Amino acid sequence: MSEDIAGLLDGAVPPARNPHLYGHRAAEEFLARSYRSGKGHHAILIEGPEGIGKATLAFRFANHVLTHPDPATAPEHLADPDLNLPVSRQIASGASHNLLHLTRPVDEKTGKAKTAITVDEVRRAGHFFSQTSGTGNWRIVIIDPADDLNRNAANAILKILEEPPRRALFLVLSHAPGKLLPTIRSRCQPLKLSPLDDEDLSRALAGLGTPLDGGRTQETVLAMSKGSVAQALKLLNYGGTEIIAAFDDVMAAEGPAARKAMHRLADVLSGKESEVIFGFFLEHLSDHLVARARAAALAGDLSGADRQAKLVSDINEKVSVAQAYNLDRKQTILSILEAARR
């Protein structure tokens, strides 16, 4: 599936092809019971931090429903997909006529995923339902993630959710459900997933062929990944730990040394094929500033807390403008670091 490959992290497995899910046993049992009861909601909002298994759970549940189309005879538990079965093979290869995966489309010129899920992608859902009407089969749409829907696409999805076709199931994924249209949230049943604990995160990484080797590296990855497999892969395979160390050097240095440290970090973050690590840096910087704002508020320095919170907003706007107008990334990063050091 090209959608998976375009944004796939090094060391990861596309969710549609991932046979294993670590953690989230309670969520799996809830979905299995809800489906078996025949009274499950037509739209489920699977929410939680990025990289903890939301998409894998969605494809796993889709496999369960399409393998057992009669809820009354469906098993009480979700099983690992069996690739010996045609349904599972079709889902894994992106060839299922009963499953549509809506995600950011690939730009044919760059080969990279676009910045948003557009209304043209949502129109595919309308075409999907019209093509499969009358078959009597379940039709499942996975929106991955709904956070990436632009305004027109979100409104188009809302119209479908308001009058869903018969035997239609929507699995709506979100890293930040508070940013979704309230009307979309109100038409979905929320299912909140928590970050993985250390044991499940370690098992997930081992399952991807990236086992933690113990010692300081393991402690660092477990502490910094916040229960996210995606964050752990960025730390391990993209130099995330080095980026954090370099940022700490920038914040601690003074005078000419600070300027040199800023340029070293900016050079790395503005290099070719640096999109993933640049995004990782922005997330880390945002977390750093939010922590400073919280500390200021707890210390009674409300003006300082407000200043740090505004800085987060200003940096986000600066990055958006730079991306929209294709401005020089190194200069943008230097400007961001200057602002963060104030």
Mean pLDDT of 297-325: 94
Question: How confident is the model at residue 6, as a pLDDT?
Answer: 58
DSSP 8-class letter at 300: T
pLDDT tens sequence across 163-174: 999 999 999 999
Question: Which pLDDT band, with edges at 50, 70 and 90, does 107 fall under?
Answer: confident
| Reported confidence tier of residue 1, pLDDT bands at 50, 70, 90 | very low
Give helix 275-298 / helix 302-324 axis angle, nearest 10°. 160
How far CA 271 is from CA of 125, 140, 245, 328, 333, in Å, comes to 37, 40, 18, 11, 12
What separation in angstroms does the CA of 183 have from each of 3, 46, 88, 155, 233? 27, 16, 33, 9, 34
Residue 3: pLDDT band with limits 50, 70, 90:
very low
Calculate mean pLDDT across residues 118-139.
91
Q: Tell me what pLDDT residue 273 has.
A: 82
Share of the chain above pLDDT 90, in %: 88
CA angle, residues 195, 235, 217, in degrees to nearest 5: 95
Is the pLDDT assigned to residue 111 strictly greater than 80?
no
The confidence band for 277, taking pLDDT boundaries of 50, 70 and 90, is: very high
Rounded to whole angstroms, how far apart are CA atoms 305 and 299?
9
Top-level class of domain 2-192: alpha beta
Q: For position 71, what pLDDT does the model report?
A: 97
Most confident by average pLDDT, 6-10, 139-143, 338-342: 139-143
Of the spans 112-126, 130-144, 294-308, which averages the highest pLDDT? Answer: 294-308
180-202 residue pLDDT tens: 999 999 999 999 999 999 999 99
Structure confidence at residue 5 (pLDDT):
54
pLDDT at position 112 over 90: no
Average pLDDT of the residues in 61-89: 96
190 bridge partner residues = 45
Average pLDDT, the chain: 94
Instruction: Decide if pLDDT at 4 tops 50.
Output: no
Domain boundaries of the chain, sorted by first residue: 2-192, 238-341
Q: How far apart are CA 215 and CA 220, in angstroms?
A: 9
**pTM, full prediction:** 0.92
